[in-house]
Structure 1
């Protein structure tokens, strides 16, 4: 529509210009005063219906008022006619060379021929023209109007733009471009605006063939004469699955390498980086985890659980590997450095994420084959081309036992003649306690050693085959006197927890070339020979009956011997017990007769004891009858003894009291003599003799008789006191007590000592009022 409007406007303009030329020639011939003419055009040339106004101007002061007349066509008019005709013809022809491209279209240009004989022709083998050669043109027509593309010279093919939706990618094949190097399968990435600039693609060295770059979600205006676009779905890895990659191009791998190394290529979504960073052709070490990926599937083959069978794999191999609870995964790798000849498993490597990062494992010097490291319970993204996993149960050490580790891997031990430290090759000196443990049983053996006492029975009794002593039988002996007999023995042993590694190291854990229990190895190699040899040797040095009679000594000696033998193997001999001794029949008869005689002797002795008991019983009956009298007599004796004890105690109390009173009297006497003097005391003694006399209360004395004068002074008072004392004696008071009271009531200057009584047995003076002597305890007589 715009092209038609443009042509129409061009024709109208030409006609208007021709008319102006013709009119100007006529006016000049009729009115020479007309000097100028102007044409006023409408403001909008698109509206061709607007009339054109011609305005004529004359010289100043002169105006034209007469009508205009046309004259014959002059040379100028002829030119104007031809000019208009040419413009019309050009407009008609030009309308055929305008191409309009809509917004949802792209124009592919193909030039049919070239009018310029000097223009170069398209080189042989080249499909796209870049210099106006005949053929498909590199340049495309974008939305809009394009002039000059005449249908007899150009073919314009209108196509829809290429749309790539979110669930797909666009793979590109270039039909023209530079040739690839030998062995190269994909064209390298060049700057060409996602293949929308064909010229830039060729100028920048884009290669002919399949391209590394892909088209992601979007709309692209691409020259389909140069590029073939085909769509492929994006790669979806569901949760719980993985994807394996096979690269169809890349650097060659060394012969010893199994999988292509991991390079930075955005999970294979950047094919150019994969090639530039040295990605290798073939199966890849890296994997795809759950997610959506835009990957060039011409370069990379993606194997998922959905298409695993097409590539010889099982769908379960493309699942996330899960190690169940209570188990561990023993890993074997298919790639890496070969294991040393003296090793059976690869040493641990750091930071490889439980074999999920294979490149870290290889870069860290990981070995190919069985690994010392194990996978713990959980889910792991493992490349099945890189590693396989075998699940085993956790090592269970029951209660009452310990686990001794025999490691076949690790650093060489410093101590080559005994148990070793953890991490070294050999028998570890630290056992495993009861519980579940993570142990790689492919590189380590765990010997379960019981730490509770174990009773081993050498007998012919039927035993469960799982018993430690299942193969132990009664020991056959021959005595010094030539008799053969069997003996049953029970041996109790115990292995301490800290001694279990030493026992395993010294005894070993193989019996008859087959893996067996360490305790059975101890029995076969150590205990059974020691027990059998001891009793065989002991029997040969004893007669059969003596061996039987001295079984206690034999048992004690056997215990000491076996204890010494087991101590060399770090095993404790708890006890040795001799059971039944099976003697020959003739010896059994002798023993039976001896036993019968012993029993008869015992029977007779029992009868004697019974008779004695009967006698005792009769005696006890007789005693019982007299028991009441005996009890009464015994009680009377006890009563008499108690009375005697009471009397003796009373005498002792009285003697003590009298002794205390005597001591008090002596103290008073001493104090009295100290106060009144010896002469005064003698006067008082004289007065005591007067007590027995009835004296008047009036005392007449001659002071010139040579006395002390004390009597004259105190006599009147004494007489009154004696009179009072006489009255007091009538109330039952003793003379000594009355005198004591008198002294207490009198003043210190007039107090008198009390009287005393002389014992007829020991002549000891005792205070008046004492009934018993204070020295000998005999009764006093007045």
Structure 2
């Protein structure tokens, strides 16, 4: 408008001002002045025309045109013109455009607005400000087919092909979009995550440009991580799908729920596998259900008493009582199960391994609400009930049959079974809990018993028996050690005296051998003397006792001379002549002469 005013004033000045110049001006001077004034005014007029005709849009902007003149009126309820009416036009001026249209800026107002930028990991939420009204029962406009999505973003095509005003099911995926922000408003909602997003502030694109607002809206993509499935609850139905509701159940007598095919309004029968999905959160509510094996711990929440036994130096038992408070730890599903066995109250800790299958996940969500609700409303109460029932009834155990084999019997549960028959208790609880688990769409895979808070009075006798047995074993071991030590010392002393023992053993053997030799020699001597006596007796019988005696005497003399040769040294033999018969007179005479005695002369004849 300002440019048009300047243009008109310049034309008026070029036509009116020269004739009114002072008449004093004459000749060439007057002609030159008139020409100069007209030329300047024409330049001003040309600049004004040019400024109203040039259209230029920046590379990161889009031009939204608002017609002011020379157009008809829009029909009631519409804000976007598609046939040249006054108001915001459907056609936009694209980024980087440069055009010259005479008096374009006089007849129109151009709003230079930013292009819409949707970052990775988010989508743009679209609201149309014009179009056909939503049908009764609709909360948002139907999703445009993927093949027509680019045309859907063209404002004129959108309005001419029955586009509906209001919230759109179609969304803007990551990218840059030159949109007509007079028709479409776009919101990108961020949620603070402590990493790359520090504020929960949304980007809002509208005819007012880009601004930031604080809202609870988030337009992040839907991520279904590994080990989970996404159960979708839809508030809209896509075109071209036969949406038939049917009843699904987890097991006979189990959970039942009304589910629909994928793309229909309701809970989808098929859950979403792990992946990233661009789902409009205004239309689709996704509940994540873990399909991994998870653990439910029943732990703490009780006070436990203890009786500690000690043995003094004399071997007497001393007992002291104490107690400890066990609180429920963080992360536990519930406290320990309070059971009653044989009239005794026993808090029992345990761990359950459970898993929800993907095919049961939609039924669980539809019937109960989610995994946490299933755990709190069905699984945990069922396990607690079955633990109490097993502890208060009977179990099947294997015991000796008295004939060297075993047999399975059913008998009432005892307190000490929590120590001696834990496996049997676990199996009994698991068999019962699995039935309820299948009905709830949960596979209970394992039950493992933890700490059993048995009253200490019931364990006292067993503890005293164990301590007595340990003391007995220690005494026997100590006695054995002492005996072994004595043997070791004896062996060491024996090794130290080994040399003397060897000498003594050798001496004993030598004495034994000498004794045996002397005995043998004596025996030989006795035999010799007996033989000699027998010979002498025989000799005496032949020669006579006197002759034998003389011969013996002679032998002794000869033996003496042999052993003492000094006796005959320098000996002079006497001259003796002996004659006689067979007697010993000659011998005696010689001996007598040898001894120095007078020996009578013997006479006789020898033979």
Q: Which one of the candidate residues 219, 233, 236 is aligned to 1:406?
A: 233
Aligned counterparts of 2:42 and 2:149: Cα–Cα separation in 1: 42
Q: State the secondary structure of the residue aligned to 1:535.
A: helix
Aligned counterpart, 1:500:
361
Q: State the secondary structure of the residue aligned to 1:243.
A: strand
- How far did residue 431 of structure 1 move? 3.4
Aligned counterpart, 1:477:
339
- How far did residue 453 of structure 1 move? 1.3
- How far did residue 599 of structure 1 move? 4.9
Deviation larger for 296-305 or 524-533 = 296-305
- How far did residue 490 of structure 1 move? 0.8
Aligned counterparts of 2:59 and 2:275: Cα–Cα separation in 1: 35
Matched, 1:247 2:85: no
Matched ranges for 1:262-411 at <5 A = 278-290=83-95, 291-295=97-101, 296-297=103-104, 300-305=107-112, 318-350=113-145, 351-353=148-150, 355-391=152-188, 392-411=219-238
Matched ranges for 1:408-447 at <5 A = 408-411=235-238, 413-418=243-248, 419-447=259-287
- How far did residue 285 of structure 1 move? 2.9
CA separation of 1:304 and 1:491: change in aligned 2, threshold 3 A = same
Q: State the secondary structure of the residue aligned to 2:81.
A: coil
CA separation of 1:571 and 1:331: change in aligned 2, threshold 3 A = same
Deviations 1:399-455 (A, max 9, x none): 333333222221573133244332122333443333432222221122222222111
Matched, 1:234 2:105: no
Matched ranges for 1:503-514 at <5 A = 503-508=364-369
CA contact (8 A) 1:331 1:375 kept: yes
* Aligned residue pairs, count: 365
Aligned counterpart, 2:309:
none
- How far did residue 559 of structure 1 move? 0.9
Aligned counterparts of 2:245 and 2:230: Cα–Cα separation in 1: 21
- How far did residue 377 of structure 1 move? 0.9
Aligned counterpart, 1:310:
none
- How far did residue 375 of structure 1 move? 0.5
CA separation of 1:478 and 1:492: change in aligned 2, threshold 3 A = same
Deviations 1:98-143 (A, max 9, x none): xxxxxxxxx99xxxxxxxxxxxxxxxxxxxxxxxxxxxxxxxxxxx
Aligned counterparts of 2:107 and 2:430: Cα–Cα separation in 1: 78
Normalization by structure 1: what TM-score? 0.41
Aligned counterpart, 1:534:
386
Q: State the secondary structure of the residue aligned to 2:142.
A: coil
- How far did residue 504 of structure 1 move? 2.7
Q: State the secondary structure of the residue aligned to 1:393.
A: coil
CA contact (8 A) 1:240 1:319 kept: yes
- How far did residue 237 of structure 1 move? 0.9
- How far did residue 320 of structure 1 move? 0.6
Deviations 1:503-533 (A, max 9, x none): 333432xxxxxxxxx3212211211111122
- How far did residue 601 of structure 1 move? 4.5
CA contact (8 A) 1:405 1:445 kept: yes
Matched, 1:560 2:365: no
Greater strand share, 1 or 2? Answer: 2
Aligned counterpart, 2:542:
none
Q: State the secondary structure of the residue aligned to 1:285.
A: strand
Normalization by structure 2: what TM-score? 0.52
- How far did residue 233 of structure 1 move? 4.5
Aligned counterpart, 1:747:
none
Deviations 1:748-779 (A, max 9, x none): xxxxxxxxxxxxxxxxxxxxxxxxxxxxxxxx
- How far did residue 379 of structure 1 move? 0.7
- How far did residue 340 of structure 1 move? 3.5
Aligned counterpart, 2:78:
257
CA separation of 1:561 and 1:247: change in aligned 2, threshold 3 A = same
Larger Rg: 1
Aligned counterpart, 1:130:
none
Q: State the secondary structure of the residue aligned to 2:379.
A: helix
Aligned counterparts of 2:85 and 2:149: Cα–Cα separation in 1: 21
Aligned counterparts of 2:482 and 2:443: Cα–Cα separation in 1: 55
Deviation larger for 237-246 or 498-507 = 498-507
